[in-house]
Protein backbone atom coordinates (compact mmCIF):
# COMPACT_ATOMS: atom_id res chain seq x y z
CA UNK A 1 0.00 0.00 0.00
CA UNK A 2 1.37 3.40 -0.97
CA UNK A 3 1.26 6.69 0.87
CA UNK A 4 -1.38 9.23 -0.12
CA UNK A 5 -1.21 12.96 0.54
CA UNK A 6 -3.79 15.50 1.68
CA UNK A 7 -2.80 19.09 0.88
CA UNK A 8 -4.38 21.90 2.90
CA UNK A 9 -3.95 25.65 2.82
CA UNK A 10 -4.31 27.02 6.34
CA UNK A 11 -4.53 30.24 8.29
CA UNK A 12 -1.14 30.03 10.00
CA UNK A 13 -2.12 32.18 12.97
CA UNK A 14 -5.04 29.88 13.65
CA UNK A 15 -2.85 26.78 13.36
CA UNK A 16 -0.18 28.23 15.63
CA UNK A 17 -2.84 28.97 18.27
CA UNK A 18 -3.28 25.20 18.62
CA UNK A 19 -0.79 23.35 20.86
CA UNK A 20 2.00 21.93 18.71
CA UNK A 21 1.33 18.33 19.69
CA UNK A 22 -2.25 18.71 18.42
CA UNK A 23 -1.42 20.17 14.99
CA UNK A 24 -1.64 16.93 13.06
CA UNK A 25 -4.85 15.81 14.72
CA UNK A 26 -6.55 19.17 14.10
CA UNK A 27 -5.45 19.25 10.45
CA UNK A 28 -6.42 15.62 9.86
CA UNK A 29 -9.85 16.22 11.37
CA UNK A 30 -10.30 19.31 9.18
CA UNK A 31 -9.42 17.42 6.01
CA UNK A 32 -11.66 14.49 6.91
CA UNK A 33 -14.59 16.80 7.72
CA UNK A 34 -14.78 18.26 4.20
CA UNK A 35 -14.51 14.78 2.68
CA UNK A 36 -17.50 13.67 4.72
CA UNK A 37 -19.49 16.78 3.78
CA UNK A 38 -18.83 16.15 0.09
CA UNK A 39 -19.91 12.52 0.25
CA UNK A 40 -22.99 13.39 2.30
CA UNK A 41 -24.00 16.01 -0.26
CA UNK A 42 -23.37 13.74 -3.26
CA UNK A 43 -23.88 10.16 -2.05
CA UNK A 44 -24.49 8.68 -5.50
CA UNK A 45 -21.57 10.27 -7.29
CA UNK A 46 -18.21 8.67 -7.87
CA UNK A 47 -15.11 10.48 -6.68
CA UNK A 48 -13.78 13.07 -9.12
CA UNK A 49 -10.96 12.10 -11.44
CA UNK A 50 -9.86 15.72 -11.71
CA UNK A 51 -8.44 18.23 -9.27
CA UNK A 52 -10.90 20.05 -7.03
CA UNK A 53 -11.13 22.16 -3.88
CA UNK A 54 -13.05 21.37 -0.71
CA UNK A 55 -14.07 24.17 1.63
CA UNK A 56 -15.60 23.75 5.10
CA UNK A 57 -19.06 24.76 6.14
CA UNK A 58 -19.70 26.96 9.22
CA UNK A 59 -18.53 27.17 11.95
CA UNK A 60 -15.14 26.04 10.64
CA UNK A 61 -15.29 28.27 7.56
CA UNK A 62 -12.44 30.72 7.23
CA UNK A 63 -9.28 28.95 8.33
CA UNK A 64 -8.53 26.15 5.82
CA UNK A 65 -9.22 24.68 2.41
CA UNK A 66 -8.30 21.24 1.05
CA UNK A 67 -6.95 20.59 -2.44
CA UNK A 68 -7.50 17.18 -4.02
CA UNK A 69 -5.13 16.50 -6.92
CA UNK A 70 -7.58 13.91 -8.25
CA UNK A 71 -6.59 10.54 -9.65
CA UNK A 72 -3.12 11.85 -10.50
CA UNK A 73 -1.46 13.30 -7.42
CA UNK A 74 -3.62 11.78 -4.69
CA UNK A 75 -1.03 9.03 -4.30
CA UNK A 76 2.40 10.20 -3.19
CA UNK A 77 3.78 7.73 -5.74
CA UNK A 78 2.75 10.22 -8.42
CA UNK A 79 4.77 12.93 -6.71
CA UNK A 80 7.77 10.62 -6.54
CA UNK A 81 7.55 9.77 -10.23
CA UNK A 82 7.08 13.41 -11.19
CA UNK A 83 10.34 14.09 -9.37
CA UNK A 84 12.00 11.26 -11.28
CA UNK A 85 10.80 12.71 -14.59
CA UNK A 86 12.16 16.12 -13.65
CA UNK A 87 15.57 14.71 -12.82
CA UNK A 88 15.61 13.02 -16.24
CA UNK A 89 14.92 16.21 -18.19
CA UNK A 90 16.27 19.07 -16.10
CA UNK A 91 19.76 19.15 -17.63
CA UNK A 92 18.10 19.81 -21.01
CA UNK A 93 16.13 22.82 -19.73
CA UNK A 94 17.41 26.39 -20.06
CA UNK A 95 19.31 27.28 -16.83
CA UNK A 96 17.08 30.15 -15.67
CA UNK A 97 13.89 28.12 -16.05
CA UNK A 98 15.57 25.02 -14.62
CA UNK A 99 16.54 26.91 -11.47
CA UNK A 100 13.02 28.27 -11.01
CA UNK A 101 11.40 24.85 -11.49
CA UNK A 102 13.95 23.28 -9.13
CA UNK A 103 12.90 25.55 -6.31
CA UNK A 104 9.19 25.59 -7.13
CA UNK A 105 8.70 21.82 -7.08
CA UNK A 106 11.20 20.94 -4.36
CA UNK A 107 8.86 21.36 -1.34
CA UNK A 108 6.10 19.29 -2.94
CA UNK A 109 7.68 16.22 -4.45
CA UNK A 110 11.27 16.49 -5.50
CA UNK A 111 13.41 16.78 -2.38
CA UNK A 112 16.62 17.04 -4.39
CA UNK A 113 17.48 20.73 -4.41
CA UNK A 114 20.03 20.69 -1.58
CA UNK A 115 21.92 17.81 -3.17
CA UNK A 116 22.13 19.10 -6.73
CA UNK A 117 25.69 20.02 -7.66
CA UNK A 118 24.52 22.17 -10.57
CA UNK A 119 21.84 24.14 -8.75
CA UNK A 120 22.02 27.90 -9.11
CA UNK A 121 24.10 29.05 -6.13
CA UNK A 122 22.98 32.66 -6.65
CA UNK A 123 19.28 31.83 -6.47
CA UNK A 124 17.62 32.99 -3.25
CA UNK A 125 16.83 30.33 -0.69
CA UNK A 126 13.19 29.38 -0.41
CA UNK A 127 13.34 29.32 3.37
CA UNK A 128 15.57 31.15 5.80
CA UNK A 129 18.16 29.21 7.74
CA UNK A 130 16.31 29.62 11.02
CA UNK A 131 12.98 28.34 9.72
CA UNK A 132 12.13 24.95 11.22
CA UNK A 133 11.92 21.94 8.95
CA UNK A 134 8.70 20.04 8.39
CA UNK A 135 7.45 18.05 11.39
CA UNK A 136 8.20 14.35 10.99
CA UNK A 137 4.52 13.45 10.69
CA UNK A 138 3.94 15.84 7.75
CA UNK A 139 4.85 15.41 4.08
CA UNK A 140 4.77 19.15 3.41
CA UNK A 141 5.16 22.22 5.62
CA UNK A 142 5.32 25.69 4.03
CA UNK A 143 4.91 28.72 6.22
CA UNK A 144 3.43 31.91 4.70
CA UNK A 145 6.87 33.42 3.96
CA UNK A 146 7.81 30.31 1.99
CA UNK A 147 4.47 30.45 0.16
CA UNK A 148 5.23 34.03 -0.93
CA UNK A 149 8.56 32.86 -2.36
CA UNK A 150 6.85 29.99 -4.14
CA UNK A 151 4.29 32.40 -5.60
CA UNK A 152 7.09 34.46 -7.16
CA UNK A 153 8.53 31.28 -8.65
CA UNK A 154 5.16 30.15 -9.97
CA UNK A 155 4.60 33.51 -11.65
CA UNK A 156 7.78 32.91 -13.64
CA UNK A 157 7.40 29.16 -14.19
CA UNK A 158 3.69 28.95 -15.03
CA UNK A 159 3.74 30.88 -18.32
CA UNK A 160 6.75 28.89 -19.56
CA UNK A 161 5.65 25.32 -18.86
CA UNK A 162 5.27 24.66 -22.59
CA UNK A 163 9.06 24.99 -22.90
CA UNK A 164 9.38 21.74 -20.93
CA UNK A 165 7.49 19.71 -23.52
CA UNK A 166 10.38 19.08 -25.89
CA UNK A 167 12.82 17.98 -23.14
CA UNK A 168 10.11 15.77 -21.62
CA UNK A 169 9.19 14.12 -24.92
CA UNK A 170 12.81 13.56 -25.89
CA UNK A 171 14.50 12.66 -22.63
CA UNK A 172 12.04 11.36 -20.04
CA UNK A 173 12.02 7.61 -19.49
CA UNK A 174 8.26 7.35 -19.77
CA UNK A 175 8.26 3.60 -20.37
CA UNK A 176 8.10 2.68 -16.69
CA UNK A 177 6.61 3.97 -13.45
CA UNK A 178 3.95 6.68 -13.44
CA UNK A 179 3.57 10.21 -14.86
CA UNK A 180 4.28 8.94 -18.36
CA UNK A 181 3.10 11.85 -20.48
CA UNK A 182 3.79 15.56 -20.54
CA UNK A 183 0.24 16.76 -19.90
CA UNK A 184 0.01 14.67 -16.72
CA UNK A 185 3.38 15.97 -15.52
CA UNK A 186 2.41 19.58 -16.17
CA UNK A 187 -1.04 19.01 -14.67
CA UNK A 188 0.59 18.13 -11.36
CA UNK A 189 2.65 21.33 -11.52
CA UNK A 190 -0.45 23.40 -12.31
CA UNK A 191 -2.25 21.89 -9.35
CA UNK A 192 0.65 22.89 -7.09
CA UNK A 193 0.55 26.35 -8.65
CA UNK A 194 -3.16 26.65 -7.84
CA UNK A 195 -2.45 25.71 -4.22
CA UNK A 196 0.24 28.38 -3.98
CA UNK A 197 -1.93 31.01 -5.69
CA UNK A 198 -4.80 30.55 -3.25
CA UNK A 199 -2.63 30.30 -0.16
CA UNK A 200 -0.60 33.40 -1.04
CA UNK A 201 -3.76 35.39 -1.79
CA UNK A 202 -4.88 34.80 1.79
CA UNK A 203 -1.47 35.07 3.46
CA UNK A 204 -1.77 31.42 4.51
CA UNK A 205 0.60 28.47 4.72
CA UNK A 206 0.44 25.01 3.13
CA UNK A 207 0.65 21.59 4.79
CA UNK A 208 0.66 18.06 3.45
CA UNK A 209 -0.57 15.13 5.54
CA UNK A 210 -0.19 11.38 5.20
CA UNK A 211 -3.63 9.94 4.72
Q: How far apart are CA 103 and CA 120, in angstroms?
A: 10
State pLDDT tens for residues 72-107.
888 888 888 999 999 999 999 999 999 999 999 998
Q: Given a cut of 70, is residue 41 above it in pLDDT?
A: no
pLDDT digit string (tens) for 52-77?
999 988 766 789 999 998 888 888 88
pLDDT at position 153 over 60: yes
**pLDDT tops 50 at residue 33:** yes
pLDDT digit string, tens, across residues 180-203:
899 999 999 999 999 999 999 999
Q: Is 138 helix (H, G, I), strand (E, B) or coil?
A: strand
**Where in the chain are the domains?**
5-43+52-210
- Of the two residues 120 and 96, the one the predictor is more confident about is 96
pTM across the whole model? 0.86
CB burial of 148-173 (b: ≥16 within 10 Å; e: otherwise) equals: ebbbebbeebbeebeebeebbeeebe
Question: Does 130 score more than 60 pLDDT?
Answer: no
Compute the distance between CA of residue 111 and CA of residue 51 in angstroms, rounded to an integer.
Answer: 23
Rounded distance between C-alpha atoms, residue 63 and residue 169, angstroms: 41
Q: How confident is the model at residue 134 (pLDDT cuts 50, 70, 90)?
A: low
Higher pLDDT, residue 184 or 43: 184
Highest mean pLDDT among 27-41, 114-128, 175-189: 175-189
User: Rounded distance, CA 9 to CA 28, Å?
Assistant: 13
| Residues ≥6 apart with Cβ < 8 Å to 90 | 98, 101, 102, 167
Amino acid sequence: MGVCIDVLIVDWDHLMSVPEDQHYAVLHEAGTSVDEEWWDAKPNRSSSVGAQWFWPSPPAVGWFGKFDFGDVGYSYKDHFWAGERWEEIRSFVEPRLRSAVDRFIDPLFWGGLENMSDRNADAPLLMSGDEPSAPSDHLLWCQPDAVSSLKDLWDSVGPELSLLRSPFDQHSRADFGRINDFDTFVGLLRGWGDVIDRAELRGWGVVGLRC
